[in-house]
Chains A and B, each alone.
Chain A
Amino acid sequence: MAQKLIIYHCYGGAHSSVVAAAIHLNKLDAKRIPTTEELLSLSLFDRQTKDGHGRLNYYGCDEWGNMVFSVGCRSKGPAMETFLSNAAELVGLSGRLIFVDTLHCVTFKMRLGGYISRRLGLIKIGRPLVASGTRAAFPRLVELVGRIKALLQK
């Protein structure tokens, strides 16, 4: 079977999509809530800026050889899915892209912390808040990634 490209996407590509990609690649233990240090050790967690929106960040290959990416699409997630799927058809990658929207797993704390850290640039205030929100959202992200992996296994 051809290698798939799994693209986790959210608004800013700095939190939920990064954590989902890390769970997918077993960089975070899905069986327990990660510590704030573990979250901050992820290279792109709370580090993406608006200049990187749209860029697919490669995270690695999963156990089936599929490539895993995270990306921030602002509010254009569905349009980006259509756009990249159409582009994939042009270059012979038809049917190989799997888009996973992680935005519905995001908690209010993550949104608020992400806004303070990424938009306002107040990292000292926003980062602990977004990390705490991400820990609260972690089980939902694990469930989402579990569904995707089950789909891939089939």
Chain B
Amino acid sequence: MKYLYLGLNDFYLSSAAAAMHLELVPVPPDYGKLREIKHFRPFCRCDEGMFLRMGTDKRGNEVYLAAVSAHPEIFVRGLNSLLAACGIPPAEVKIILCQPENPQIGRIVSLLNKLGLRAAADRLGAGMVRNRLSDLKRLIFMQKTVSA
């Protein structure tokens, strides 16, 4: 099984969720630990739709990240219908959507990054992770329970 953490407009939530899944960071992670996560960063256009490998979990499942700038639901439908068309079980690739409560935050992060304020963008990203921590923990727990 492969896990794909799909972010909207940035990699902050998705990389933090993937790192928690892989048990690379303590829960709750502090700012220092979050900054050490691979791909804990804003998003640029060239990243859109790309799969970034995060590692393999204890059960041997591969964990990936991806991010898109808008309409994540069409990417989910696209992948699910591709698997169905090829007769591949939908459980083969599990997509976990990691969206901030307010999608506008992603645009603010992107703007901060464009202005060269990467540290401020990272701080905001860490804030997003803190706000969504309970949801992320629940999502990861559910996925792990299903795979077990």
- The interface of chain A, by Cβ under 8 A from chain B, is 5, 52-56, 58, 67, 69, 71-76, 78-84, 86-91, 93
B-side contacts of A5, CB under 8 Å: 82, 85-86
Partner of B85, one of A58, A72, A78, A89: A58
A-side contacts of B68, CB under 8 Å: 76, 79, 83
Mark contacts of B46-72 with chain A using CB atoms, 8 A cut-off: 1 yes-contact digit, 0 otherwise.
001111000000000010101011110
- The interface of chain B, by Cβ under 8 A from chain A, is 2, 4, 48-51, 62, 64, 66, 68-71, 73-79, 81-83, 85-86, 88, 92-93
Are A83 and B79 neighbours in the complex by a CB distance under 8 Å? yes
Partner of A67, one of B75, B83, B85, B88: B85
Are B64 and A54 neighbours in the complex by a CB distance under 8 Å? no
Are A71 and B93 neighbours in the complex by a CB distance under 8 Å? no
Of the A-B pairs whose beta carbons lie under 8 Å apart in the complex, a sample of 28, sorted by A's number, is A5-B86, A52-B77, A54-B71, A54-B75, A54-B81, A55-B81, A56-B82, A71-B78, A74-B70, A74-B71, A74-B74, A75-B70, A76-B71, A76-B75, A79-B68, A79-B75, A80-B49, A80-B75, A82-B49, A83-B75, A84-B79, A86-B50, A86-B51, A87-B51, A87-B79, A87-B82, A90-B62, A93-B82
Closest to A13 in B: B74
A-side contacts of B70, CB under 8 Å: 74-76
Are A83 and B78 neighbours in the complex by a CB distance under 8 Å? yes
B-side contacts of A72, CB under 8 Å: 74
Partner of B82, one of A78, A79, A84: A84
Bound CA span A11–B51, Å: 23
Q: In the assembled complex, how far is the CB of residue A11 from the closest CB belonging to chain B, in whole angstroms? A: 11
- Contacts A53-B77, A73-B74, A76-B68 given; does A82 touch B86 at CB 8 Å: no
Bound CA span A67–B84, Å: 13
Are A81 and B49 neighbours in the complex by a CB distance under 8 Å? yes
Closest to B78 in A: A54
Select the residue from B49, B51, B73 with max chain A CB neighbours within 10 A: B49
- Contacts A79-B69, A83-B68 given; does A90 touch B51 at CB 8 Å: yes
Nearest 9 Cβ contacts at the A-B interface: A54-B74, A82-B49, A54-B77, A83-B49, A86-B51, A79-B49, A56-B81, A79-B48, A54-B78
Select the residue from A76, A80, A87 with max chain B CB neighbours within 10 A: A87
